[in-house]
Structure 1
């Protein structure tokens, strides 16, 4: 049987108890466009062709109501998650400056053996957020 096609990652989910802090980090600091929010439940942001979903885990873990309009199964995670933003190599210093100026600690800033660079910080919920040059996952020819 042939493998059906896949186009990439459409959305990625993170979990946070404080959605207003998430709004400040992803919307105000990182400049992602807020798409929609439901108070006390979630806030969604656009990042180019991907959507970053931020949910309150204790709310999304609740079982699906029998009369739910959208039949999305319950989900959630314990502990910090991880998300990596693809950033042009020549913009990584600008991100370090922006994040540092906002009081966000840079946990790690290093070059991979293939020459890619990654910068790691924590969002207000403790999720590990990486900013990396696209070369990180380039496949050698």
Structure 2
């Protein structure tokens, strides 16, 4: 299918929400709420926890609970889930990267990689309790 044969529509302007998956939501809550300090917006035990990250919402789902879709007829969310680690990158300044490295290591989350990209942007990589690959990077990484 070519782009010319599709009806026109404007491009999205932002990512409203992003999802990661974790089988142990209590461990995820401790990590995202306590270690990362993200404000929790909603929780359904055994199903999901939602956090605010700036203007984006981070959804943490237990994939065993979401694979079949919503059981609420008013919320017709189709089934979804993922197997294996996902990836998410948080935008932080170079100064904040140093502070985050100290905080994560003090909380028992080792830094897997710490480097400078060819354009000069800094990044650190680490894992959440579910094994998801997380990154903190300067926003200029994508300039």
Question: For the superposition of Structure 1 and Structure 2, which TM-score range results when normalised by the shorter chain?
Answer: over 0.9
Q: Aligned to 1:77, what secondary structure does the other structure show?
A: coil
Deviation at 1:68, TM superposition (A): 1.6
Q: Which consecutive unaligned segments of at least 5 residues does structure 1 have? A: none
Once the two structures are superposed, residues 58-102 of structure 1 have per-residue CA deviations (whole angstroms, 9 ceiling, x without a partner) of 11001454x622011110001000000000122110000000111
The reply on whether 1:44 has 2:45 as its aligned counterpart is no
Residue 119 of structure 2: aligned partner: 114
* Contact 2:68-2:78 at 8 Å conserved across structures: no
Select the residue among 4, 10, 18 that pairs with 2:10: 4
Residue 22 of structure 2: aligned partner: 16
CA distance in 1, matches of 2:136, 2:87: 11
Over 4 Å off, 4+ runs: none
Select the residue among 65, 81, 85 that pairs with 1:80: 85
* Contact 2:69-2:77 at 8 Å conserved across structures: no
Q: Aligned to 1:92, what secondary structure does the other structure show?
A: helix
Deviation at 1:9, TM superposition (A): 0.5
Residue 60 of structure 2: aligned partner: 54
Paired residues, number = 137
Deviation at 1:5, TM superposition (A): 3.8
User: Cα RMSD over matched residues?
Assistant: 1.2
CA distance in 2, matches of 1:113, 1:120: 16
Tell me the TM-score normalized by structure 2: 0.91
Q: Which consecutive unaligned segments of at least 5 residues does structure 2 have? A: 1-6
